[in-house]
A and B are shown apart, each in its own frame.
Chain A
């Protein structure tokens, strides 16, 4: 169907773009390169400035996407090649195998229970989330099916105790594996949904427009920045968000990595690494970190009012509707704001507590502060996959690596290729509401194109 559109990225921007276009009557292919739609928002605990539960408000939209007859969801799928012919786009995609028959899998989880190997969950990093080699991305995942880690499928996890250790046959040659525990568990349930011989699949279709909604990535602290790589109890704000989340690795308990004890003194360092030399931090203001910190401290205080929370900040960004009131709420709840940028962090060897050294900008004093857990607000960076995608789409990136608009003032959300539009975090740091606005606008432009 050449009246359809392609939306790349299944986060909150992509979801809203797809839903609007689909409700308008346009056929939408919604592509995400992870196993589920949902994006960053599905990983968050709460949203500022109302402290709405993130997945509670996102899941109904994901459900709508799943059930809309005009939307085809393609997860685990990458855009490989795009060619413009007669004003339309011929797109070539590759759906990486999940080694699961998505039609047959009911998400019951029997295979996950059977899998003997747990590995660290990439998203959770230092806060210790684990997943099995066959796993569901998160309970509300759409599509609600499991996927098998390709490393396991390719026999690379055998040394870690993956179940087909005794098999002498090269997995890739085997049509039906009767040995793997996940396969057995699935068969016991009468489903035969695990299909270890599944191959990557190429998909080709034609669309009239494309919307890029690839989202944001949280910056990793560079190496030993403020002790991140050196000390156990220094984590990022996204990792802290996972700690707060009832669906996260600690079921919502704010416990620190070193001794799994509840942290009673926590500090946030805003603009961590900002403006440092190339590769050592983010050279611009990511605008949402101030509100993330306000949210995290408010929720921490709600969990346990006795926790002492301190935010070291420079310029307060409270730019959106209700944001200033939210900051005031944090202050009223006893969150301490200190204008300073700690320059050094030491670990106390016994307690594994962290001592920060900083200069209070308001008083000019050199001070020290000891905390049990340190959270680095590291800012928002472009998605590393942007480069490859920009090449495939033949559109430009700006000097930072975000997608570039043709002319932000005259033709917002348009790119240098007519028919390819941008929305959400693909262009830079952004909050959820702004993403939704841009998603609606990009959808309008995409469906209107002839």
Chain B
């Protein structure tokens, strides 16, 4: 430890919120007795402008270079004190925040003496950590302005145009010989029952793309290799046998989807009268050519078989054990039924369905179809229509729930509304970009709710049907939205990451590659010798790699093993048998702790909480150290499943706690004294109950 360490401790009264319970002057006097502390002070409202000015003056006056603030909660006030510390000329990573309101005065309101002792303990822990803190800094990684869009369908084209409109370069990589994707196979699109020819929209978009000086299109192109990370990608493309390299900064995945061929179902593939919705689109397109509306005679192609009766079966290969709702089937079936009726008003159409998933504006199309005389029959989920051929005719037997009886329908054309799956080539792209897909062949976004347009790794956006089936309008919106996500780093010219990142000491590294495999953000890259390197701008600082590293050679800035263990040791220096060490993640677990505070839930004062960014940061070594020192119990608290701020850190933590229990048992400790709890930020009662329960069992 450097001799120059000079700690300043600033304890807040928070009006009477803290000072009404905790004897703050006594705590301040106590802080002054701690090693390395050169100044300690009490502030009525530490977050007020007046006090911050005073705090900065004290820092300068006493040449303080480590700051400990004991007040409310870091979740709301840490940024403020970080700024104040920085403005006083001290690196903000040299600040340690101690929570004595949410964790002390609000939860031990009736025990002022015990609360005061706990506050002292927490400050002692904070000072112990602070003395070991090292400077950190935000990390910047330059990002240039070239973006590759994989897939030239409507989502990809919209994305590329919006990228290009900003003056950035967009390279569209399309595997087919022409742009347009699925739109090439669709006759017209409709919304609110207004329809537009797809070809018309497509032509307009392609014209725009071709006229745009910043968009470059590579058709019939394959991606051979993708190397690097945001700001620094090298992509090898092969187009018609020649290879070329693209240097790009960001990537947008817009690879679209394809219809599942219902091979072998309802005679599909054996009988030309059985087609899918996309094949029907093609037929409508052909029939439509030269005819606006009217009494068009329709025939099965290449035959003279007339079409007078059409049956449509929805949810073929959808809504079963392996696939969900195809999202676009109901609307497509109704839209195409209207198209057929428009071609020939006398055609009889039956749509056989399970549920009609027609939302708000689609309801109009449904009404229109009904008005035109399209008949709807609802079959039970577990009883699909049966088809047989009689004298060459297609006959369907279907039970209609609503009328409660069975119908037999003869049809000249059977249309199957089948589900969709991710496009060909998804697996290769998945490999190139190190991203995931789900069981239905669609790419998996970073967060189902709040990260719908990107992957966990920075710099790769996702849109349209590559993620899940979407309508035309939704695909357009997704493309534009993905352009926004990819543009932010390009517009800024860099990405900036918090300085809480991993740092690998290569001296002890045995190149096992575990960190590379475990990192949820692809922030650890390995070279050919499996030598790892942290791309600091991509690292989120969860600490999963550090806690798993078998050689203990990865440290996390602001959360090093030494710093955390110093907190454990400080907490357990006296009366360790009465104390419970709780490792809490910064997000939901600390949120739950704060909620217990805000709700004034009173629980026993035995807890000494240590904040980590993610529960995955907690290593077995830390837990064991607490047991070595005679702790009453240890709690590892993280986000409730499946929520985790770091994708899956809580799952990793759960596994590690199990391993830790085995290890503790081997060492002769009682593994049942190690608990974990997964709580949400609203789970104040859960946290308080856990504390009560632990104290009841161990003390």
Contacts and interface: CB of A to CB of B under 8 A. Distances in A.
Nearest to A251: B685
A213 to B, nearest CB: 14
Contacts of A437: 452-453, 474, 477-478, 481
Contacts of B477: 412-413, 437-438, 441
Contacts of A123: none
Interface stretch (A51-59, A88-96, A173-181): A51-59
A361 B403 CA distance: 9
Contacts of A16: 450
B424 to A, nearest CB: 20
A408 B472 CA distance: 10
B487 A409 contact: no
A188 B319 CA distance: 62
A324 B401 contact: no
A343 interface: no
A445 B192 contact: no
Contacts of B361: 284, 408, 428
B57 interface: no
Given A59-B591, A247-B595, A432-B450, A189 B484 contact: no
B449 A24 contact: no
B17 A318 contact: no
Interface stretch (B275-283, B513-521, B558-566, B637-645): B637-645
Contacts of B355: 315-318
Interface string A234-267: 0000000000011100011000000000000000
User: Which of B14, B45, B680 has the most chain A CB within a 10 Å cutoff?
Assistant: B680
A172 interface: no
Contacts of A60: 587, 645
B474 A53 contact: no
Nearest to B447: A57
A318 B319 contact: yes
A443 B452 CA distance: 15
A274 B374 CA distance: 23
Contacts of A323: 324-325
Q: How many interface residues does chain A have, given as a range?
A: 35 or more
Interface string A332-366: 00000001000000000000000000000111100
A126 interface: no
B294 to A, nearest CB: 25
B189 A443 contact: no
A445 B356 CA distance: 34
Contacts of B483: 444
A59 B380 CA distance: 43
Contact of A53 (B14, B162, B401, B643): B643
Contact of A57 (B15, B449, B481, B482): B449
A12 B467 CA distance: 21
Interface string A404-429: 00001110110000000000000011
A70 B644 CA distance: 27
B491 interface: yes
User: Which of A140, A320, A437 has the most chain B CB within a 10 Å cutoff?
Assistant: A437
A59 B680 CA distance: 12
A317 B682 contact: no
Contacts of A190: 15, 44-45
B360 interface: yes
Contacts of B682: 45, 53, 55-56, 245-247
A81 to B, nearest CB: 29
B433 interface: no
B395 interface: no
B487 A436 contact: no
A320 to B, nearest CB: 7
For the complex, would chain A's binding face be called helix, strand, loop or mixed by DSSP majority? loop
B487 A287 contact: no
B645 A24 contact: no
Contacts of A63: 75-76
Nearest to A136: B598
A59 B681 CA distance: 9
Contact of A188 (B16, B468, B480, B640): B16
Given A53-B681, A285-B363, A24 B324 contact: no
B484 A409 contact: no
A139 B598 contact: yes
A101 B642 CA distance: 39
Contact of B360 (A285, A315, A318, A325): A285
Contacts of B165: 448
A383 interface: no
Contact of B484 (A188, A322, A428, A440): A440
Given A364-B404, A436-B449, A315 B357 contact: yes
Contacts of A439: 481
Nearest to A337: B381
A322 B201 contact: no
Nearest to B492: A25
Interface string B439-472: 0001000011111110000000000000110001
Interface string A282-326: 011111000000000000000000000000000111111111110
Contacts of A412: 473, 476-477, 480
B359 A317 contact: yes
Contact of A440 (B447, B472, B481): B481
A47 interface: yes
B535 interface: no
A206 B48 CA distance: 32
Nearest to A23: B488
Contact of B380 (A362, A408, A438): A362
Contacts of A361: 401-402
A443 B484 contact: yes
Interface in B352-366: 354-361, 363
Contact of A318 (B45, B324, B598, B681): B324
B34 interface: no
Given A59-B591, A440-B484, A108 B15 contact: yes
Interface string B111-152: 000000000000000000000000000000000000000000
A24 B487 contact: yes
B506 interface: no
Contact of A47 (B17, B404, B449, B591): B449
A51 B587 CA distance: 17
Contacts of A204: none
B448 A287 contact: no
Interface in A111-150: 139-140, 144
A140 B643 CA distance: 18
Contacts of A49: 448
A444 B15 contact: no
22 contacts: A20-B484, A20-B488, A24-B491, A53-B640, A53-B682, A55-B682, A106-B15, A108-B15, A140-B681, A246-B683, A284-B361, A285-B358, A285-B360, A317-B357, A317-B359, A408-B192, A409-B191, A428-B359, A436-B453, A440-B453, A441-B480, A444-B481
Given A55-B682, A56-B681, 4 more contacts: A318-B319, A322-B448, A362-B380, A440-B482
Interface of B: 14-17, 44-45, 47-48, 75-76, 79, 162, 165-166, 189, 191-192, 194, 196, 201, 319, 323-325, 327, 354-361, 363, 380, 401-402, 404, 438, 442, 447-453, 467-468, 472-474, 476-478, 480-485, 487-488, 491-492, 587-588, 591, 595, 598-599, 639-640, 642-643, 645, 680-686
